[in-house]
Structure 1
Amino acid sequence: MRVLVTGAKGQLGSDLLCELSNRNIDAIGIDIDDLNITDAKATKEVIEKTNADKKLDAIIHCAAYTAVDAAQDNEALVTKINADGTKNIAEVAKALDLSMMYISTDYVFDGEGERPWEPDDKRAPLNIYGMTKYKGELYVEELLEKYFIVRISWVFGLHGNNFIKTMLRLGKERGAVSVVNDQIGSPTYTPDLSRLLADMILTDKYGRYHATNEGLCSWYEFACEIFKQAKLDVKVTPVSSDAFPVKAKRPHNSRMDKSKLTENGFELLPGWQDALSRYLSELEKN
């Protein structure tokens, strides 16, 4: 099998390339240096050339604009990347009869209530970033039959910045942090997620899925566990979201129902505390 991965230098894309390669799946990674996905003509030419050289079977689309607050001031750009860019890739996938996996987000929901979001629940994004990812989902659904939409949340990995790295830095610098305690979700470790995505792309069990590590926590509880496992003496104060005014509204409820994974024979990801432990060990090595 041959798979094209967009956003190959990103937090998820880089780990996904490694996982696919480890399974002897021919994985071709492209990033912004290789392809501007907002250019429909260039997208068509690059993917068609790659297909001519390698005979592709699937595209895993990880590339995205993910700066949630900055997105509020850059709606046109974010729409071009997350919505129109996804459409451009989906159109080529359709023309070449390739399956496509689109990595999406819990931000397509309004974040209200306490019930875990099911894959087919009504989507009502709270902010520009969520809206553009939602539009990307719609393009994939409208254009393709052979597609996976995989929604993830609270992502962390070795590459790029994330909440854990920020907490470790602030904890060491200040010895005390305040963290919101009214947003609930599940962290997602990119090597664990990559294994699942690789499992999925080898099948034809298409549709919408939710994929995170198992277990729930607030950002406050996440921070407490980070410092506990890192053996850092840091005072953590729980606060409401109102204590940190931000441009983009965040969902209070990011609980995700993942039963569709097991229903289709996919293995659930390990617990987030276990993932955190392995991640901290990897950080030490690096």
Structure 2
Amino acid sequence: MKILITGAAGQLGSTLVSFLFGAHEVIPLTRAELDITNPNRVKETILMHRPDVIIHTAAYTDVDMSEKHADTAFHINAFGTRNIAEAAELVGAKLVYISSDYVFDGMKKEPYIESDCPSPINIYGSTKLLGEKFVELYCSKHFVVRTAWLYGMGQRSFVNTIYKLARSQNEISVVTDCYGSPTYVMDLAAFITELLSKENYGIYHVVNEGVCSRFELAQAIVQEMGFDHVQVRPILSHQFEQSALRPANSALACAAIRMNGLTPLRDWRSALQAYMGNLKQSDEGGLFSGH
């Protein structure tokens, strides 16, 4: 297949490029190479390449800055996505749109399933939900992939932040009343690779199996790295100052994966263990040491 990837320099985009390169014709486009907010440029680019699949990972992902720069967040996440969806339909391409757990308000006690009604409580979640609506409206062959708490090598994430803090501090304060589903970017990329050949269009929740709090995730990171001297101290979310509200529970249940006979992701603890093993090897070269 000919596969065009937007946001190819980002965490998921770059991982997908490495996953798909060789087996498929991959067209990786960074923000500098494709401004998704320019509808004419998007249309010209898609018509020039005529991909079979577009994986749309480009996004404005700073949750707190989205509150301060709402126009920019909507321009990129919602209307930029509309431009991609319209162009995908124009050439008959399948479209994989990467969405977020933050489309939910966090009031549900159990993990959210694909049919639950979204109700975002922050600007970022609102922009991603509007992006979903545009994809559903403008592109007939679409996959909406909602994921959460994504982490991977060399990119900013909660996992990497906790790891770096644990290297330099004996005590870390982490919120204990915020629950979700950690997702290893390699596992997400592997699932998307499987999804590309399917035609079971619609919404998919794609996260590593299981639920944990931010506090529990931080504890697991410290344990995996053998940082016995580091104490993870529980605090409540209202004690941690942030511009944007976060859903108290944004855990996702992957019902659509099973319903469509696709491969579920492994449990979050096994995925974290695999990642931390890779991180230890990579950090021997100072990748996360700050040097």
Class of the TM-score when normalised by the shorter of the 2 chains:
over 0.9
Counterparts of 2:223 and 2:202 in 1: how far apart (Å)? 38
| Structure 2 CA distance for aligned equivalents of residues 245 and 163 of structure 1 | 16
Partners of 1:282 and 1:48 lie apart in 2 by 40
SS at match of 1:72: helix
Alignment-derived partner of residue 2 in structure 1? 2
Using structure 1 for the length normalisation, give the TM-score.
0.96
- 1: CA distance, partners of 2:184 / 2:160: 13
SS class of match (1:164) = helix
Instruction: Note the C-alpha offset of 1:235.
Output: 0.5
Q: Which residue of 2 aligns with 1:124?
A: 119
Instruction: Work out whether residues 179 and 238 of structure 1, in 8 Å CA contact, stay in contact via their aligned partners in 2.
Output: yes
Unaligned runs of 5+ in 2: 283-291
How much has 1:134 moved relative to structure 2?
0.6
- Equivalent residue, structure 1, for 2:262: 266
Is residue 84 of structure 1 aligned with residue 83 of structure 2?
A: no
TM-score, with structure 2 as normaliser: 0.94
Equivalent residue for 1:193? 188
Unaligned runs of 5+ in 1: none
> Counterpart in 2 of 1:160?
155
Moved more, 112-121 or 244-253: 112-121
**Cα separation, 2, equivalents of 1:4 and 1:200:** 15
What's 2:36 paired with? 37
Q: Is the 8 A contact 1:10 1:159 kept in 2?
A: no
* Corresponding residue for residue 178 of structure 1: 173
Instruction: Please name the residue that 1:243 is paired with.
Output: 239
Instruction: Assess if the C-alpha contact under 8 Å between 2:105 and 2:250 holds in 1.
Output: no
**Which string of whole-angstrom CA distances, capped at 9 and with x for unpartnered residues, describes residues 3-50 of structure 1?**
11111111111111111125x122211111101100011111112112
Q: Which amino acid aligns with 1:33?
A: A
- Superposition pairs of residues 44-63 of structure 1, within 5 angstroms: 44-51=43-50, 56-63=51-58
C-alpha distance in structure 1 between counterparts of 2:179 and 2:140, whole Å = 33
1:4 is paired with a residue of what secondary structure?
A: strand
Q: Say if 2:208 is the partner of 1:213.
A: yes
- Provide the residue aligned with 2:289 in structure 1: none
Matches of 2:214 and 2:135, distance apart in 1: 31
What is the alpha-carbon distance in structure 1 between the residues aligned to residue 122 and residue 273 of structure 2? 32
Calculate the aligned-residue CA RMSD, in Å. 1.0
Percentage of pairs with the same residue: 40
Q: Give me the whole-angstrom Cα distance separating, in 1, the residues matched to 2:78 and 2:108.
A: 27
* C-alpha contact (below 8 Å) 1:114/1:255 kept by paired residues: no
Aligned mates of 1:161, 1:199 — CA distance in 2: 26
Q: 2:288 — aligned with what? A: none
Q: Which whole-Å CA distance do the structure 1 matches of 2:139 and 2:35 have between them?
A: 21
Aligned residues: 281
Extract structure 1 runs of 4+ deviating beyond 2 A.
none
Distance 1:118 1:31 in 2: 32
Alpha-carbon offset, residue 159 of structure 1: 3.3
Q: Deviations over 1:134-187 (max 9, x none)?
A: 110000011122100010000001131111111111112221011001111110
- Paired with 2:115 and 2:3, the residues of 1 have a C-alpha distance of 27
1:284 Cα shift?
A: 2.3
For 1:43-75, what per-residue CA distance to the aligned partner results, in whole angstroms no more than 9, with x for missing partners? 111121122xxxx21101001000000110101
Distance 1:61 1:38 in 2: 13
Per-residue deviation, residues 172-227 of structure 1 (Å, max 9, x unmatched): 22210110011111100011111100101111010001000011110000000000
Q: Which amino acid aligns with 2:43?
A: K
Would you say the 8 A contact 1:65–1:78 is kept in 2? yes
1:99 CA displacement: 1.0
Q: Structure 2: which amino acid aligns with 1:38?
A: T
